[in-house]
Amino acid sequence: MASISQKKVVDHILRAICAETTTEKGRIYEDLIIYIMSQVAGISSATRDTLNPFHSEETDIVFWNEKDRRGLSFLPSRILTEVKGWSSPVGSNEISFFETKLRERNANFGLFVAMNGVTGFTENTPQGARDLIRMALSRGIEIVVLTGNDLLSINSGADFVALLKDKLCQIHASGTQVS
């Protein structure tokens, strides 16, 4: 699989931090996720910033997954992705809203990119957003959270695949994502 340029990752993050508007910041982070996913075998296209017909929900990105055996063969054909570039951890309301989007689209997997993580982990007791990830799993919906630190830790499409596998194993072993 293709390599991921850490220079490009850092450049996107720095440009987003310096962005003048939240819309510009969000666009830069979405561009970053699209770049990273394009380095994964079998990801063939992305649809972004799509409103539903009632303009009550927007989907940030939906990736098409060809299920290449070297890529994300263990995930569905459509990967709904939410991107939050907040300066603080994302709370439970956003996770709840994302789970609703997934359920309404009959999707059992979603990728939630929260540059500064999500709320709710003290000692070994999931709270806040992490508790909602646990509850979604009990309803058959897997929500994987990726942070800015996660994005800085990958150097190739294969690293990204391994990271997602690790996070999915965490969710199923502990009932929530612990990192």
Q: Per residue in 38-63, pLDDT tens?
A: 999 999 888 998 888 888 888 899 99
d(CA 139, CA 178) in angstroms, rounded, equals 19
Quick one: residue 106, left, alpha or beta (phi over 0 = left, psi -120 to 50 = alpha)?
A: left
Q: State pTM to two decimals.
A: 0.91
In a domain, 1, yes or no: no
For the domain that residue 120 is a member of, what is the CATH number? 3.40.1350.10
SS3 content of the chain, % helix, strand, coil (to 5): 40, 25, 35
In the predicted structure, residue 164 carries a pLDDT above the cut 90 = yes
The pLDDT value recorded for residue 142 is 95
The pLDDT value recorded for residue 177 is 65
Residues 90 and 130 sit within 8 Å (Cβ to Cβ): no
In a domain, 113, yes or no: yes
The pLDDT value recorded for residue 62 is 96
In a domain, 131, yes or no: yes
In a domain, 26, yes or no: yes
In a domain, 179, yes or no: no
The pLDDT value recorded for residue 128 is 82
In the predicted structure, residue 147 carries a pLDDT above the cut 80 = yes
Average pLDDT over residues 124-133: 74
In a domain, 142, yes or no: yes
In the predicted structure, residue 122 carries a pLDDT above the cut 80 = no
Nearest alpha carbon to residue 102 among 120, 76, 126, 121: 76
In the predicted structure, residue 125 carries a pLDDT above the cut 60 = no
Counted domains in the chain: 1
Average pLDDT over residues 4-22: 94
The pLDDT value recorded for residue 1 is 67
Residue 53 belongs to what domain range? 6-174
pLDDT digits (tens, 9 = 90+) for 66-80: 999 999 999 999 999
In the DSSP assignment, the letter for residue 156 is B
Average pLDDT over residues 138-149: 94
